[in-house]
Structure 1
Amino acid sequence: MPEEQKQDWIKYEETIEKFIEVIAKNMNLYGVTPSIGRLYGVLYFSDSPMTLDDMREALEMSKTSMSTGVRALSDMKMVEPSFKKGVRKDLYKSEEDWYKSFTSLFGSRWRHHTETNIEEADEAVQELRQIKVNTEDESLKEKIEQNIQRLEYAQNYYRWLMKFIHVVESGEIFNYVPKLDQNNNNE
């Protein structure tokens, strides 16, 4: 291969590697470690499905780390098993629909945290009401009532947030903010 073509391939590989690093850094927004983000990036840019050995070799990480990473990405619906006739090892490929991955990941992460917040707010309201019933301190009763109102506001917010999460998970979000395809990338 002529030297000029080698340099073109080197530039190409550097550009892809740079973008994989961007993916890895940004994955922390979703609670994903940079190493798992790099794994996703490598799978995304791979021309064909990869085995754990292929991934280990590409990322110079242990097979155990690759297995853990693939499992995490699979749980987030960002990686899926693949099949190739004649290949006995497990193969994996990236989910190339980032919109689908986002809605799945966003929904599951936010739903879990929001449900937890709803439960905690409910418990706090119940406990405060019990304290209010049992105390004779009028200033404490007044303070409790103010904080119950704050907690009820929080509960309303969390109920709204659950509706928003549903809009994202169901794909209804795309009725309001349409996906951009490769041919229509302007707003």
Structure 2
Amino acid sequence: MNDLEGLAPEQVERISKARERVIDSIGKNMDLYGITLSIGHLYGYMYFNQGPVTLDELSRTMGMSKTSMSTGVRTLLDLKMIDKVWGKGTRKDLFEVVPDWHQNFSDYFSIKWRKAVEGNMAALSKSLNEIKQMKSEYADEPGMEQLLSTDEVKIEEAIKYYRWLLKLIEALETGKIFELIPKES
């Protein structure tokens, strides 16, 4: 991390130790969200870096292969936690952190939740249509009407939940969530 050049060794050690503690906590926090610890550490290293970095620089700093760095960087790009930036005089790709943790949280959960909600809603809709079809097919069979009606109500309740979750996702995506729960300044 080039911002430590010119400092006394004991200063570098103390600052590095404090940063490592934060980087480790970032990694552990991101691990809770289903992102590997190493990708969390990668984000942490990039967070403390003073400007954009290349895959080669990340690989050297973290002691990991360029392939591992590439995979981690691609994941962070997909999650909108880092950006690919242009650098004058370099032909290598440069990457830098998006330092807004609130936006990172919003992007991460809206990306993950939207994908899950869309898949779950499709499955629920398909099952609801099948239940309704069976209700008409088995209308004369004792007990089937009640059984299918109970399942229909349960599926409709699940659909209501997912519609609510879509509203939460929209609030995250639009930033309206911060009107309800303001960021600290």
Identify whether the pair has TM-score above 0.5, normalized to the shorter chain.
Answer: yes
Tell me if 1:49 matches 2:58.
no
TM-aligned CA deviation for residue 84 of structure 1: 2.6
TM-aligned CA deviation for residue 95 of structure 1: 0.5
Once the two structures are superposed, what CA deviation does each residue of 1:27-79 show, in whole Å capped at 9, x if it has no partner?
12332111111111110000121110100011111101111111110111111
Q: Using the alignment, how far apart are the partners of 2:124 and 2:89 within structure 1?
A: 55
Unaligned runs of 5+ in 2: 1-7
SS in structure 2 of the partner of residue 127 of structure 1: helix
Residue type at the aligned position of 1:113: A
Aligned residue among 115, 119, 124 for 1:116: 119
Q: Using the alignment, how far apart are the partners of 2:22 and 2:9 within structure 1?
A: 20
Unaligned runs of 5+ in 1: 182-187
Residue type at the aligned position of 1:66: M
Where does residue 171 of structure 1 map in the other structure? 175
Aligned residue among 155, 161, 170 for 2:159: 155
CA RMSD of aligned residues (A): 1.4
Q: Any residues of structure 2 matched to 1:83-98 within 5 Å, and which? A: 83-98=86-101
Tell me if 1:19 matches 2:22.
yes
Residue type at the aligned position of 2:164: W
Greater mean alpha carbon deviation, residues 50-59 or residues 78-87: 78-87
Tell me if 1:127 matches 2:123.
no
Residue type at the aligned position of 2:170: H
**TM-score w.r.t. structure 2 length?**
0.90
TM-aligned CA deviation for residue 154 of structure 1: 0.9
Q: Using the alignment, how far apart are the partners of 1:97 and 1:39 within structure 2?
A: 16
Q: Using the alignment, how far apart are the partners of 1:155 and 1:166 within structure 2?
A: 16
Where does residue 142 of structure 1 map in the other structure? 146
Q: Using the alignment, how far apart are the partners of 2:127 and 2:89 within structure 1?
A: 59
SS in structure 1 of the partner of residue 84 of structure 2: strand
State the identity %: 39
Greater mean alpha carbon deviation, residues 50-59 or residues 125-134: 125-134
Count of aligned pairs between the two proteins: 177
Once the two structures are superposed, what CA deviation does each residue of 1:70-96 show, in whole Å capped at 9, x if it has no partner?
111011111111233222211111101
SS in structure 2 of the partner of residue 93 of structure 1: strand
Residue type at the aligned position of 2:133: Q
Q: Using the alignment, how far apart are the partners of 2:22 and 2:68 within structure 1?
A: 22
Q: Using the alignment, how far apart are the partners of 1:86 and 1:111 within structure 2?
A: 39
